[in-house]
Amino acid sequence: MFNFAFSLIAAKNEPMNSENIQCDTRTPSPPYGYSRECTHSREEQIHIVAQFHAHKIRPSRIAYRVGIDIAFIEELIAGETEPERFPGLVAHYRRQRYHQRMRDSNTRRAISRYEQQQRIEREFIQETDL
C-alpha cells in the first residue's frame, strides 16, 4: 500500500517534460472574464449589458457568460461610455423585470401573493431611487 501511494505522489512531483506537455489535451484557462468569443455587435452588447445589469448580474459574470470585454462592461456601468443612453436602457429592463415578476407572482395565493408583490415593489422602488 505504501509503495503504491508513494508512486502516485512521486509521479505528480515529476518535472514537466515535452512528453507530458504533448499528452496534455486540456485547453488553457481563458483570460479573466471570458469564456467565449463575443459575436454580438457593439449595439447588441450595450443592450445585453443593460439587461444583465437590470437583473443584478455581476460584470465579471456577464463577461464570462457572453464574452463581452469586462472593461467595456465596467465603463458602461460607471457611466464613462454611453452616459445618456445606458441608464435609460437599464431603467427599461428594470421595468420589464418588475412587470414579469408581478405576473409570475399571480401563481401564488392570498397572503403569499400579497407579500411577494409588496417585496417586488419595495425592491423596484429601491432600484429606481439609486
Distance CA 10, CA 8 (A): 5
Domain hosting 106: range is 2-128
CA-to-CA separations, 17 to 9, 10, 14, 72, in angstroms, rounded = 17, 15, 9, 40
Task: DSSP for 6-44, please give it.
Answer: HHHHHHHTSPP-HHHHHH--PPPPPPTT-SS---S-HHH
* Nine cell digits for residue 53: 445589469
CB-count burial class (<10 Å; 0-12, 13-18, 19+) for 9: exposed
pLDDT for res 129:
66
How confident is the prediction along the chain (130 residues), in pLDDT tens digits per residue? 444 444 444 444 555 555 555 665 655 555 554 556 778 888 999 999 999 998 888 888 888 888 888 888 888 988 888 888 999 999 899 889 888 888 888 787 888 888 888 888 888 888 776 5
Number of folded domains that form the chain: 1
pTM of the model: 0.61
CB-count burial class (<10 Å; 0-12, 13-18, 19+) for 46: buried
